[in-house]
Amino acid sequence: MPEETVTVLVYSDDRTIRERVTAALGRRPARDVPRVAYVECATQPAVLESLRRGGVDLVVLDGEAVPSGGLGLCRQLKDEVYQCPPVLVLTGRPQDDWLAAWSRADAAVPHPLDPVLLADAAAKLLRTRLAGAAAR
């Protein structure tokens, strides 16, 4: 029987940010969370297409991405994607939490990325997502 996996979409125009996120989350961000499969996107259209296909359990958006920042993209996703998966945004600094709230993000982690904080936030959102799926 195949092991259960969750899919995490990671968006940033900067390949090194995508690499830092996937390295911080690793194969699984916590013991009680299934293994992670990644979908990496460098553009807004790629994010939208991936979400249209479905199967994404968590979205991680870089708020500092250009030309389409993750905060505005998060707000768009929350408005346009039916049953949008939870979204974790990476903000420019801790003082930008108000922007994360405006974007309707489910969680926010500031730059510079703390791998432990990022993994904890992702694991919490994935647990909530999996609990909701089990209840259906």
Question: What's the confidence (pLDDT) of residue 21?
Answer: 98
Distances (CA, A) of 115 to 24, 108, 112: 5, 13, 9
In 3-state terms the chain splits into helix, strand, coil percentages (rounded to 5) of: 45, 20, 35
pTM reported for the whole predicted model: 0.95
- Domains of the chain listed by start with CATH number: 5-135 (3.40.50.2300)
pLDDT in tens, 89-116: 999 998 999 999 999 999 999 999 999 9
Distances (CA, A) of 5 to 18, 52, 79, 130: 19, 19, 27, 11
Name which residue leads in pLDDT, 99 or 1.
Answer: 99
Mean pLDDT of 53-80: 97
Whether the CA torsion 15, 115, 7, 68 is positive or negative: it is: negative
